[in-house]
A and B are shown apart, each in its own frame.
Chain A
């Protein structure tokens, strides 16, 4: 059965690594619905957080093929309940429409906050799950949304303690310096 899965991939810091990972999805006609990547706490090790709609059976094979890549440390498939995750959205709203209702209440009720104020617009930030972010978008619509921007998923794996130790060990191992992005 198709449902949403989170995939985490730990990689070396290499030019082209994103392409190497994504071609494995595209080969199997799987669409990546969001992708977040950044360096982990271990210098030189990157973490990709990918969300897709697919089946567990297929994704287990995909993850195996990702792990086969030389510059991949590990890759995992996670069910919804295996991860704690958040997404972040920014909403740019026109100041001129503030009199159209009680925007402060909306911000408060959504646990959002204003992060920038300008004479013409202000920017609200909210973290949450996709639906919560969309719900607030709807509430803000009467005020005139100038721009809406949402991140991919950031996830923490509930059972990941042992893997974190593995990562720390990795940090102690020498990496070569060919083609690193940061060179």
Chain B
């Protein structure tokens, strides 16, 4: 026996496990929960009824929506996103969101109801083995079968979810544990003996990194999501400015550096900018900060930056040397590492190196960007719509994107000004992410404009959340870029499958009518003349609004690096 049969303490209140769940969440500072009730979580929902003044529960229309909303919430305001779901199908519907949050390092705590402990393993009604289902896609999970274990499990869940490299945690609570009474006491968790979330900074590796940077002629910073998570944006810029090091961003690193910063060279990867990709294979020292060398960034690993010495600043030891060998691994929180690095780095100027980006930019600008951003004839292009959204929101909105062509276009052309204003599904590429994530982002940052840019295919994966938006009166702006195609798949079919458009053309419903059915006003725009006014109308509307923009049907996203090809083979057309 390991539990201490402690004496009854008169100062402790006796409450049910269900009430303890809510009290524990309140103790963790939770004021917002996205969820959906059901049989096995009913005691918790019943307890929630008494805490309506402290906890705002947002009733979603599908548990997947709750997970993405919690992700959007966490990414817009930095707190842990919290989800409630019932057992069985409620729990399995969390799977996509958990996997997405795990890939994209998003702090989230999901609490699922479970059948009574006596029924576990018996194939009871709505019983599913959610612990084993979610083991590979959660940072941690636990099944709680006794009321007295609830506070400890929740405390641990929050500590794990938000510390180190953040991630999703699932706490599965059997119904008997929710009903049982016990003496409640809450202690926040700040230590687990087998878990070291933040590595100690190794000063030798910092000095080695500085030496390498000081010797470099063409150093180059890759800014990843870890910069935003660590709040290292200022330190990153300080380092870059001091030694005049150009910066490029991964998809999830976007918004860490303002797009108009002179050292910001653009977006990396398969559909990223031309110069950041080309010059990855030209730099002599690559400083990768808080990123994991995703295959969409590296293309062919063998030829990726093979000429460069690599400094990899990363909090998760498992990411170091996983894809790209680090000459100088710096296992650390990005902010701590960069701040330690700055004093050791010498000021430098490198006009030629910086100029080399500008020259490549010129090519991309002429061949891709100008025609995409400022077309004068033909159908509307996604890029010009994104440009106008960017202009009309002054680059200050939180941009939430789904997955596919519109995502790449929005990531390429939205001119981010402030950190944490880019919310997208990066690692998982979850279609249907944006609508619920935007909803959560707006709840997390109510005073910010939140614009979801969504493809017509993606929208139809989670559009039921329009009901949540209506019921909760969440003022998100929804832009559907409708090309009546699963555009990115169609693009690949065109380029790599001989234009055999297998199951990618969509006969779509009337999106404005759909919104109307959910009492959300909207408008459909098909021409260049109407678009600015329509965007302005959307932004000035007080409350949720849906704008459908019909865009060119068979448009492609360029530049492009074919999957697994060397990044130097990036093509502009």
Q: Which positions in A face B, CB cutoff 8 Å?
A: 11-12, 15-16, 19-20, 23, 27, 60-61, 64-65, 67-68, 70-73, 170, 173-180, 182-183
12 cross-chain CB contacts under 8 A: A19-B135, A23-B135, A61-B318, A61-B322, A65-B318, A67-B318, A70-B140, A70-B194, A71-B194, A170-B193, A178-B142, A178-B156
Asked if residues B156 and A19 are in contact (CB atoms below 8 Å), the reply is no
Given A70-B139, A73-B194, 4 other A-B contacts at CB below 8 A? A12-B193, A67-B318, A176-B192, A178-B156
Q: Write the chain A residue with the least CB distance to B132.
A: A19
B89 at the interface (CB under 8 A from A): no
Known contacts: A65-B318, A177-B2. The answer to whether A16 contacts B131 by CB under 8 A is: yes
Which residues does chain B contribute within 8 Å of A183, judged by CB atoms?
Answer: 1-3
Tell me if B496 is interfacial: C-beta within 8 Å of chain A. Answer: no
Size category of the B interface is 20 to 34
Instruction: Give the number of residue pairs across the A-B interface with Cβ within 8 Å.
Output: 66
A64–B149 Cα gap in the complex (Å)? 30
Nearest B-chain residue to A22, judged by Cβ? B135
Closest partner residue, chain B, to A60 (CB atom): B321
Q: What distance in Å separates the Cβ of A31 from its nearest Cβ neighbour in chain B?
A: 18
A15 to B144, CA, bound (A): 11
B71 lies within 8 A of chain A by Cβ: no
| Chain B residue at minimum C-beta to C-beta distance from A11 | B194
Quick check: is B143 within 8 A (CB to CB) of the other chain?
yes
Give the Cβ gap from B475 to chain A, nearest Cβ, in Å.
Answer: 38
The answer, yes or no, to whether B198 is at the interface (CB within 8 Å) is no
B1–A179 CB distance below 8 A: no
A173 to B8, CA, bound (A): 26
Asked whether B132 lies within 8 Å of A72 as measured between CB atoms, the reply is no
Contact A67 B322 (CB under 8 A): no
Q: Which residues of chain B come closer than 8 Å to A15, judged between CB atoms? A: 143
B132 touches A179 (CB 8 A): no
Q: Are B142 and A67 in contact (CB under 8 A)?
A: no
Task: Write the nearest CB–CB distance from A44 to chain B, whole angstroms.
Answer: 8
Interchain CB contact under 8 A, B194 and A177: no
Q: Please tell me which one of the listed residues A61, A67, A177 contacts residue B321 in the complex, with CB atoms under 8 A apart.
A: A61
| Residue of chain B at shortest CB distance from A175 | B193
Cα-based distance from A68 to B140 in the complex (angstroms): 10
What residue of chain A has the Cβ atom nearest to residue B195's Cβ?
Answer: A70
Q: Please state if B153 and A178 are interface contacts (CB–CB under 8 Å).
A: yes
**In the complex, B258 has a CB within 8 A of chain A:** no
Name the CB-closest residue of B to A64: B318
CB distance from B276 to the nearest CB of A (A): 27
Q: Is B160 an interface residue (CB 8 A)?
A: yes
- The answer to whether A16 touches B317 (Cβ under 8 A) is no
Q: Indicate if B300 sits at the interface (CB-CB under 8 A).
A: no
Given contact pairs A176-B192, A183-B3, A64 touches B322 in the complex (Cβ within 8 A): yes
Shortest Cβ distance from residue A8 to the other chain B in the assembled complex, whole angstroms: 15
User: Does B136 belong to the interface (CB within 8 Å)?
Assistant: yes
Expressed in whole angstroms, the minimum distance between the Cβ of B476 and any Cβ of chain A is 35
Residue B552 CB within 8 A of the other chain: no
The answer to whether A176 and B156 touch across the interface, beta carbons within 8 angstroms, is: yes
On chain A, the residues within 8 Å of B132 by CB distance are 16, 19
Nearest neighbor of A180 in chain B, beta-carbon distance: B2
B449 within 8 A of A: no
**Across the interface, which residues of A come within 8 angstroms of B135, CB to CB?**
16, 19-20, 23
Ranked 8 nearest A-B pairs via Cβ: A64-B318, A177-B2, A173-B193, A68-B318, A70-B140, A65-B318, A70-B195, A73-B194
Query: CB-defined interface of B131-169 with A at 8 Å, one 1/0 digit per residue?
Result: 110011001101110000100110010001000000000
Q: How far is the CA of A180 from the CA of B136 in the complex (A)?
A: 20
Contact between A68 and B316, CB atoms less than 8 A apart: yes
User: How far does the alpha carbon of A177 sit from the alpha carbon of B318 in the complex, in Å?
Assistant: 27
Most chain A beta carbons < 10 A, residue from B142, B143, B321: B142
A177 to B317, CA, bound (A): 27
> A16 CA to B143 CA in the complex, in Å?
10
In the complex with contacts A70-B194, A73-B194, A182-B2 CB distance below 8 A: yes
Find out whether the CB atom of B317 lies under 8 angstroms from the CB atom of A64.
Answer: yes
B134 to chain A, nearest CB (A): 11
A178 in contact with B149 given A61-B318, A61-B322, A183-B2 (CB within 8 Å): yes
Minimum CB distance partner of B136 in chain A: A23
Chain A residues contacting B2 (CB-CB under 8 Å) are 177, 180, 182-183
Q: For residue B152, which residues in chain A have a CB less than 8 angstroms away from its CB?
A: 176-178
As a 0/1 sequence over residues 1 to 13 of chain B, the CB contacts with chain A under 8 angstroms (1 = contact) are 1110000000000
Residues of B within 8 A of A71 (CB): 140, 194-195
Q: Smallest distance from the beta carbon of B156 to chain A beta carbons, Å?
A: 7
> How far does the alpha carbon of A65 sit from the alpha carbon of B194 in the complex, in Å?
14
Q: A27 to B136, Cβ gap below 8 A?
A: yes
Instruction: Report the bound CA distance from A51 to B397 in whole Å.
Output: 53
| B194 and A179 contact, CB distance less than 8 A | no
